[in-house]
Amino acid sequence: MITERNLLVAVAFDSDPEEVSALKSGALKALILQDPYGMGYKGCATAVTLLEGGTVPKYVDTGVVAVTQANMNDKKILDLLDPTRLKR
């Protein structure tokens, strides 16, 4: 049965507290997250390669992850939802 509630699928980008709450409540179906640690690591590794005279690709895909209610409690996802959880 189609209802007004399921006529529109809402997805958001990143993980501010309001978006995480909306995902938990079902108001959002998914969040698309970046990996800030991975982005920083790949950026530094690329810079080092250039400084050492190496070549790097024009485009470096740092990836994204789709987060849903089904996977939002996985450790990897929790770390992406709150990067302050990552060990330094």
Query: pLDDT tens-digit profile of 73-86?
Result: 999 999 888 878 87
Query: pLDDT tens-digit profile of 2-59?
Result: 556 665 677 777 888 888 998 999 888 899 998 888 899 999 999 999 999 999 999 9
Per-residue pLDDT at 1 = 46
Single-letter amino acid code for the residue at 17? P
The arrangement of strands across the sheet holding 30-34 comes to 11-13, 30-34, 64-67
**12 φ, ψ to 5°?**
-125, 165
Query: pLDDT band at 69, cuts 50/70/90?
Result: very high
Structural domain spans, the chain: 4-82
Q: Is the pLDDT of residue 71 over 80?
A: yes
Per-residue pLDDT at 6 = 60
Class in CATH terms, 4-82: alpha beta
